[in-house]
């Protein structure tokens, strides 16, 4: 659970109010609530007063050969420690970095350490949690940091729908979330058990059309057994927004703080951040779910089936016209070699 942005904004404002211009590189900082054994401070870095958060790990170590993350709009650096040993890291906004996005990142990262500390993770584990989360933000900021497009929003809604379906089927949450590889731009959305699941979502009022984005998505030579899991949403007041779906899954995972962290890491890779949540206003109510096993006669295009020279294709399938491949969720899980 991300920390409130207010505590960081107020601290930075207070430091800026009392700040005296300084030409030397240095820090002014205010202590904030700790994250377990990790001291957390909001700070300003002289001489340009860049906003920062400082983390003190009393007993952890980082070798000089370890490269710390640096991304578009921020950097991570070691700073002078006070007392005996330990590691003190500063996460600092670059001058050209967007303050609102940096604040969102800070709230998420500190919140992830809070969650890990509540799960009694070791101090070295908390340090790795920090670095891992920053690396995810580094990847996010290297891409387009705008809100998801309507098509990407629908796609993520479909994946979240089936994340919940799999969690409700009593599979271990760690298995489900580690299997969810769609946010990593994998060829299929879930690599589960012995095979894979490709997820598709539609809001079409006519038929059940789904868009296939490549020759590999429905190729069982890539992963076998391979399944196509599709959901048709309708837009109603009873439906959930994308942010509501996120909150719903977080509630399911509420007793497993480390899984909440993993879930939010996946969301970040998918391009979803809390700072954009209010812009996702469409409401998705699932009307129909269909699961198909993809075998030789399934209507599809693959590298082996298209004429020589065709190396890329995007096409649509109307699932209303696909007969004979439908299976139940339990049967799919058994064929994948996983059970709840």
Question: Quick one: pLDDT at residue 217?
Answer: 97
Which domain, by its residues, includes 96? 5-142
How many whole angstroms from its chain centre is CA 255? 19
* Stretch (H or E) spanning 44: strand 38-46
Q: Say whether both 178 and 297 belong to one domain.
A: yes
Question: Cα-Cα-Cα-Cα dihedral of 95, 101, 104, 110, to 10°?
Answer: -40
Same-domain pairing of 123 and 172: no
Give kind and range of the element (H or E) at residue 173: helix 173-179
Same domain, 125 and 189: no
Residues 201 and 136 in one domain: no
- SS3 state at 87: strand
Sign of the alpha-carbon torsion through 271, 276, 278, 281 = negative
Cα 233-236-237 angle, rounded to 5 deg: 135
Residues 79 and 175 in one domain: no
What is the total count of domains within the chain?
2
Angle at which helices 257-269 and 242-252 cross, to 10°: 150
Claim to verify: residue 237 and residue 158 sit in the same structural domain? yes
Domain at 68, CATH number: 3.30.1460
Per-residue model confidence (pLDDT) at position 83 = 59
Low-confidence ranges of the chain (pLDDT < 50): 22-24
pLDDT in the model for residue 22: 47
Give the residue from 25, 43, 38, 7 showing the smallest Cα distance to 117.
38
Among 117, 142, 167, the domain boundary falls at 142
- Give residue 46's pLDDT: 82
Please check whether residue 137 is in contact with residue 101, taking contact to mean a CB–CB distance below 8 angstroms. no
Q: Let me know whether 100 and 228 are in one domain.
A: no
pLDDT score recorded for residue 70: 76
114 and 258 part of one domain:
no
Ramachandran category for residue 130: left, alpha or beta (phi over 0 → left; psi -120 to 50 → alpha): alpha
Residues 182 and 133 in one domain: no
């Amino acid at each position: 659970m991300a920390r409130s942005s207010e505590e960081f904004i107020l601290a930075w404002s207070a430091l800026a109010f009392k700040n005296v211009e300084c030409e030397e590189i240095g820090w002014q900082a205010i202590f904030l609530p700790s994250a377990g054994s990790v001291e957390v401070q909001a700070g300003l870095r002289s001489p340009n007063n860049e906003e920062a958060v400082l983390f003190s790990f009393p007993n952890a170590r980082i070798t000089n050969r370890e490269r710390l993350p640096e991304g578009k709009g921020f950097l991570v650096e070691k700073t002078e420690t006070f007392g005996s040993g330990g590691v003190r890291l500063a996460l600092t906004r670059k001058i050209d970095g967007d303050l609102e996005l940096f604040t969102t990142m800070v709230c998420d990262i500190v919140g992830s350490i809070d969650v890990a500390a509540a799960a009694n993770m070791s101090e070295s584990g908390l340090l790795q949690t920090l670095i891992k989360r920053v690396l995810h933000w580094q990847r996010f900021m290297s891409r387009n940091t705008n809100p998801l497009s309507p098509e990407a929003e629908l796609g993520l809604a479909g994946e979240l729908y089936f994340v919940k379906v799999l969690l409700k089927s009593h599979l271990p949450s760690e298995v489900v979330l580690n299997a969810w590889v769609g946010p990593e731009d994998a060829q299929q959305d879930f690599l589960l058990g012995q095979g894979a699941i490709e997820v598709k979502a539609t809001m079409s009022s006519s038929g059940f059309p789904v868009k296939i984005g490549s020759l590999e998505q429905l190729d069982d030579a890539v992963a076998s057994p391979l399944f196509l899991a599709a959901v048709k949403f309708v837009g109603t007041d009873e439906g959930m927004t994308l942010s509501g779906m996120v909150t719903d899954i977080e509630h399911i995972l509420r007793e497993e703080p480390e899984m909440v962290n993993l879930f939010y890491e996946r969301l970040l890779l998918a391009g979803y951040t809390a700072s954009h949540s209010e812009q996702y206003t469409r409401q998705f109510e699932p009307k129909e779910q269909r699961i198909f096993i993809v075998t030789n006669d399934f209507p599809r295009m693959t590298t082996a089936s298209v004429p020589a020279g065709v190396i890329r294709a995007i096409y649509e399938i109307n699932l209303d016209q696909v007969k004979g491949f439908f299976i139940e969720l339990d049967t799919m899980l058994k064929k994948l070699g996983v059970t709840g």
